[in-house]
Structures are given as structure tokens and as C-alpha cells.
Amino acid sequence: MEVRENIISILVNNKPDVLARIAGTFSGRGFNIESISANVMMNPAITKIIITTRGNKQTVTKMEKQLHKLVDVLQVDDLTDVDSACGEMILIRIKLTEENKGKVMKAINTYNWRVVSMDPSSCIVEVTGDKELIDDALALLAPLGMDDFTRTGCIVLKRCKS
């Protein structure tokens, strides 16, 4: 069976140890968490966690069943093959010099990236979009004097069936 990236959305009780339980379930069963994001819902007692992990469908299904057994897990959805909106965000810091300044500004303008901070010697660019778009932005800016970056990892939301 094909190994691929899977996206799992988990609703949990908002408790201090719940993330440790989920992480422990992944590591204990031999899975690696590729990316993770968590946010408190409108009801602050509940947190949504989005995890991406590599594996084939069968093993990921087993993983989901194990997650389901955790007392503080309320709901597990595998969104890998579900019609959903998916996005990430990256913040990229670039050291500006006389040589690269022109190229950096050109890229920013071409792709319409948002500049969140700018001073004479450096700038921070924000890019949002799907994984490929972010990968492309990284590939483009890395040789242009990229200094550091922070990437959120994937967040997803299922589309409503109308």
C-alpha cells in the first residue's frame, strides 16, 4: 500500500496533558508527526488538533482507532481524501544587501507577498497557500539571502457538502 502524507483532524478536551497523550500514542505506535497545529475552539473547553503524518491508509486507520480510545479525544477525522480547504503559512526573514535587494523586492512584487516587517537591513515576508506554493516560495528565497523561517504546517477545514 502506498505511503503518503495523511491529514488527521482531532477534537479533544482542552487539558494540559492531552497533547502528550496524542504525541505518545503516535510515538508508541511507531508514527512520526510531520506537522501539528492546535487551536482552542469557540467553546474553550475544546481544542482542535491537526496532524499530518506519513503512512499507508491501513496503518493510519489503525492509528485513528487508537486515538479514538483516548478518553479526552472526542472526534477523529481523516481528512486526507476528504474535500477540504487546506493551507499553511510561512514567515521568511531575509537579510537585505545592495546585491539582493532588487531581486527580493521583485519577487515580492511578482508574487504579491505580504511584507510584515521591513528595515534597511532585513525584511520578513509572509506567504500563505498550499504546501506547493510555500515550498516554491522557500526555494525561491533560500538562495536570495534567506536568514531564517517559521512554518505553521498544514491546517485544514472540511468543505460543506451543499
Partner 1 sequence: MQLTGSQILFKILKEENVDTIFGYPGGSVMDIYDELFRQNIKHILVRHEQGAVHAADGYARVSGKVGVCLVTSGPGATNTVTGLANAYMDSIPLVVFTGQVQTWLIGNDAFQEVDITGITRPCTKHNFLVRRIEDVATTIKEAFRIARSGRPGPVLVDLPKDVIQTRIDEAELKYSISLPDKPVIPNAKRCAKALDLLKKAQKPVIISGGGVLLGRASEELRSFARVLNIPVTSTLMGLGTFPASDPLWLGMLGMHGTYYANMAVSYSDLLIAVGVRFDDRVTSNVEAFAPHAQIIHIDIDPASIDKIVKSHLSIVGDCKPALQWFNKEITSGRLSLPAEQIKSWRQQIRQWKEKFPLAYCRSKKIKPQCVIETLWKITNGEAIITTEVGQNQMWTAQFYRFDRPNTFISSGGLGTMGFGLPAAIGAQVACPGKLVVDIAGDGSIQMNIQELATAVQYNIPVKVVILNNNFLGMVRQWQELFFDKRYSHTDMSHAPDFVKLAEAYGATGFRASAPDEVETVLKKGLHTRGPVMMDFEVEPEECVYPMVKSGDPLTEMSLGDSNIVA
Binding site for partner 1 (CB under 8 A): 17, 20-21, 24, 28, 61-62, 65-66, 68-71
8 A C-beta contact, residue 150 and residue 90: yes
Minimum Å gap between C-beta 29 and partner 1 is 10
Q: Is 15 or 159 the residue whose CB approaches partner 1 more closely?
A: 15
Minimum Å gap between C-beta 58 and partner 1 is 8
Q: How many CB atoms lie within 10 A of CB 108?
A: 18
Distance of CA 55 to the CA centre of its chain: 17
Q: How many CB atoms lie within 10 A of CB 111?
A: 14
Q: Is 62 or 106 the residue whose CB approaches partner 1 more closely?
A: 62
8 A C-beta contact, residue 37 and residue 50: yes
Minimum Å gap between C-beta 94 and partner 1 is 40
Q: Is 76 or 141 the residue whose CB approaches partner 1 more closely?
A: 76
Minimum Å gap between C-beta 43 and partner 1 is 19
8 A C-beta contact, residue 114 and residue 126: yes
Cell of 88: 499553511
